[in-house]
Amino acid sequence: MRWGEHRGIDKVIADLRARGAKRVGLMGALGLSKCRKLEAEFGPLVDLNREYVRLRLVKSQEEIDWMRIAATLTDLAIEALRREARPGMTERELGAICEAAYHPQGGVTYIHYFLVTPMANPEYCVPRQFESNRKVHPGDVIATEITAQFFDYPGQHFHGGG
């Protein structure tokens, strides 16, 4: 890794040239003008995105173990919500309960979405991506979509319940 000196793609091209590159493969997003500069120097880019995704779909045992840990951390968040959620709390406070449950164990928030709505007259049907100051009232349902991650590997839980 080196400083790009505000000449990022030009520095990359110079480095590839110095290494004797003949063809260049690309994974991820890159602006059109940068792609054109690379192609002017090395010919058509080789799109590696599909192959990368295919390789990522096959998990190693270690990756599967990390996903299991993440699922366990997500379960900790659900258990904490069941134990600690009370009328008067906001959706933001519910998010804090989740994070406090898994953060000390090495978990990181991927998502925690909430839906707090009266059961007698529901206003929403799915958890919202942005927490609000909406307070939990007696008779409300709290639906969640919670995903903690461990080493960038997620373990998701979706729950609708009271």
- The pLDDT value recorded for residue 157 is 64
Backbone angles phi, psi at 124, to 5 degrees: -135, 165
Q: What pLDDT was estimated at residue 5?
A: 78
Question: Distance between CA atoms of 36 and 46, rounded to whole angstroms?
Answer: 13
pLDDT of residue 158: 55
Label residue 65 exposed, middle or buried (CB < 10 Å: 0-12, 13-18, 19+): middle
Domain architecture of the chain: domains with CATH: 8-56 (no CATH), 61-161 (3.90.230.10)
pLDDT tens for the chain, 162 residues: list them.
677 777 889 999 999 999 999 999 999 999 999 999 999 999 999 999 999 999 889 999 999 999 999 999 999 999 999 999 999 999 999 999 999 999 999 999 999 999 999 999 998 888 989 988 999 999 999 999 999 999 999 988 655 554
C-alpha 129/C-alpha 127 separation (Å) is 7
* Residue of 95, 102, 97, 109 whose CA lies nearest to 76: 102
In the prediction, which pLDDT does 162 show?
47
Distance CA 91, CA 59 (A): 34
